[in-house]
């Protein structure tokens, strides 16, 4: 099983979450299935996401896409995301 782990900081969790939810179709098309959406206990603007990956190439293309960068910018991501492709 392959996974995608993403960690990033956002300006406002509620605003980011709304944009994240609106972008669910793109994640589905990339073969990503959300397993966990977590945020830091003390700092809710520190977000960690874990996805199961059906197709590693589609997921990598999605992670590198200009569409995702634009959605993240508009949603208020404030730092460079840490992105890890993992295998069990």
**Distance between CA 50 and CA 6 in Å, rounded?**
7
Q: How far is CA 48 from the centre of its chain?
A: 8
Task: Report in angstroms the alpha-carbon separations of 56 from 28, 69, 79.
Answer: 13, 19, 24
**Distance between CA 64 and CA 87 in Å, rounded?**
19
- Tens of pLDDT, residue by residue over 30-86, are 999 999 999 999 999 999 999 999 999 999 999 999 999 999 999 999 999 999 999
The total number of residues written for the chain in this structure: 88
Which class is 2-87 in CATH? Answer: alpha beta
Predicted TM-score (pTM) of this structure: 0.93
């Amino acid at each position: 099983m392959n996974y995608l782990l993403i960690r990033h900081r956002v300006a406002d969790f509620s605003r980011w979450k709304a944009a994240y939810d609106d972008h669910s179709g793109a994640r589905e098309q990339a073969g990503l299935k959300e397993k966990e959406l977590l945020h830091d206990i003390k700092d809710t603007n520190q977000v960690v996401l874990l996805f199961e990956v059906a197709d590693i190439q589609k997921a990598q293309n999605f992670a590198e896409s200009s569409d995702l960068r634009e959605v993240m910018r508009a949603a208020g991501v404030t730092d460079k995301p840490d992105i890890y492709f993992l295998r069990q």
